Amino acid sequence: MKQRSAIVIGAGIVGLATVRALAIRGYRITVFERNERAVGASIRNFGMVWPIGQPAGPLYERAMLSRSIWKEICAEARIWHDEVGSLHLAYHQDELQAITEYVETNRQYRDCALLTPKQALQKSPAVNPAGLKGALWSSEEMIVEPRVAINQIALYLAEKYDVEFYWNTAISRVDHPKVTSGDRSWEADEIFICSGADFETIYPELFSAADITKCKLQMMRLVSQPDDWRIGPALCGGLSLIHYPGFQSAVSLPALRKRYEEQYAGYLEWGIHVMVSQNGSGELTIGDSHEYGLVHDPFDKEFINNLITAYLQTFAKFKDWKLLQSWHGIYPKMTNGETELIIEPAPGVTIINGLGGNGMTLSFGLCEEYIAGRVGEW
């Protein structure tokens, strides 16, 4: 039987997840990345694999499938990862009410619990004890260092499955079974376009017709904490409760949102909710904001970073707050409520896109589910 071949355009997390799902099914795969390495949203994030953000049901199951694939790859490729879990901290009675309701409706599906202030402080030395009323603990969240992990996954796929990567190679035309870059071209049985917002350069008419926009987020990184001090779980403030759909099971959430709209109107205007994760070298990644539109100001807004830091200080205490880096990322986001965009613009060509800010959490699961479903057709 002839070995099937595939071309994957884009070496970010969605592209790599597609490669992995094809490779384990025996495909011969060629990957094209327009840069010398992945430099987009896939490396400009917290590195959070975040099941708690997904609602119970198919999306939660997809997130847990992704988590299991992440663990498998990290173990095989010796990629640093930390199964630290997460704490959502409550400093007001309405926040405590929301996380209490979340635990009551989700503990049969997930490993989560409502913690007392004392228990929360035992989980993390970085929690601000002043006014703390309780916390939501979840064991399922995992941290990777995306700036390192994405490149390591590409190396792992190349070595284990003989995947061929063409770096610094921008594909400008797709005409199945052929893709073209300048005066060079390549052919394959299947072509997968996983290039984030860049797919508008290949199929501009499809991009403009799709219910899709772009999101700019601002983030920062603080220096390595002294004496190997670790914060333990990823930490989140109350604003995260109204950001992630996983918390919509809390019936009091609309009332909490109303209070935030009054008290934190400036935060919600810029889509700010605040979280922190720690990488293997002790650096703290903090953020973030969300600005939506097809074109974004290339310059970061200092006041957004100041808002993020100010809110973070209400629930976290660090040994060293010195700023190491700040940056922004841009990712495609669906505007119609869908969690991804999968379309076939031509026979043998598939676009996988639009995962929004859930790429690290959902990509491996989504691509495994989708490719597994398609293999049954061949």
* Element (DSSP H or E) covering residue 292: strand 291-292
Q: What is the distance between the alpha carbons of residues 86 and 263, in angstroms, rounded to a whole number?
A: 25
Predicted confidence at residue 1, as pLDDT, reads 75
Q: Does 367 map to a domain?
A: yes
Residues found in the chain: 378
If asked whether residues 157 and 109 sit together in one domain, one would say: no
Are 291 and 315 contained in the same domain? Answer: yes
Rounded to whole angstroms, the Cα distance separating 145 from 291 reads 24
Backbone angles phi, psi at 353, to 5 degrees: -160, 180
**pLDDT the model gives residue 378:** 43
* Last residue of one domain, picked from the residues 334, 351, 367: 334
Q: Count the alpha carbons within 13 Å of 283 in the hemisphere toward its beta carbon.
A: 16
178 and 280: one domain? no
Clarify whether residues 316 and 247 are in a common domain. Answer: yes
Q: What is the CA angle 286-287-290, rounded to 5?
A: 165
Clarify whether residues 172 and 296 are in a common domain. no
Domain CATH for 25: 3.50.50.60
Asked if residue 59 is part of any domain, the answer here is no
User: Residue 366 corresponds to which amino acid?
Assistant: L
Separation of alpha carbons 6 and 3, rounded Å: 10
Residue-level pLDDT at 374: 87
Q: Classify 323 as helix, strand or coil.
A: strand
pLDDT value, residue 2? 86
Same domain, 99 and 112: yes
| C-beta separation of 31 from 166 below 8 A | yes
* Domain count of the fold of the chain: 2
Range of the domain at 15: 5-43+147-210+339-375
Of 315, 8, 369, nearest to 161 by C-alpha is: 8
Pair 238, 314 in one domain: yes
Across 4-39, b (16+ Cβ under 10 Å) vs e yields bbbbbbbbbbbbbbbbbbbbeeebbbbbbbbeeebb
- Distance, in Å, from the CA atom of 270 to the CA atom of 288, rounded to the nearest integer, reads 10
CA–CA separation, 187 and 68 (whole Å) = 33
Domain membership of residue 163 (yes or no) is yes
pTM above threshold 0.85: yes
The token pair at 158 is 């190349």
**Residues 237, 320 within the same domain:** yes
The sheet with strand 28-32 has its strands ordered as: 164-166, 28-32, 5-9, 190-193, 349-353, 341-346
Q: Are residues 106 and 221 in the same domain?
A: yes
- Provide the pLDDT for residue 376: 55
> Looking at the structure, do residues 126 and 267 belong to the same domain, yes or no?
yes
Residue 54 forms part of a structural domain: no
Q: Which two tokens stand for residue 290?
A: 């969300």
Counting as low any pLDDT under 50, the low residues of the chain are: 377-378
Which residue bears the tokens 């198919």? Answer: 58
Dist. CA 215–CA 356, nearest whole Å: 8
Query: Do residue 178 and residue 253 come from a single domain?
Result: no
| CATH number where 274 lies | 3.30.9.10
Distance, CA of 18 to CA of 27 (rounded, Å): 11
Q: In sequence order, what DSSP letters do the residues of 143-212 get, joined into one string?
A: EE-HHHHHHHHHHHHHHHH--EEE-S----EEETTEEEETTEEEE-SEEEE--GGGGGGTSHHHHHHSSE
In a shared domain, residues 224 and 363 = no
Alpha-carbon distances, residue 44 vs 124, 142, 202, 327, 328 (angstroms): 25, 17, 23, 8, 7
Q: Domain for residue 120, yes or no?
A: yes
Decide if 79 is inside a domain.
no
Q: Is 65 domain-assigned?
A: no
- Return d(Cα 144, Cα 267) in angstroms, integer: 27
- Which residue in this structure is represented by tokens 């355009």? 9
**Has residue 266 been placed in a domain?**
yes
Q: Cα–Cα distance between 125 and 316 in angstroms, integer?
A: 9
Q: Long-range contacts for 202-207 (Cβ within 8 Å, ≥24 apart)?
A: 202/9, 202/171, 202/172, 202/173, 202/174, 203/174, 203/345, 203/351, 206/343, 206/345, 206/351
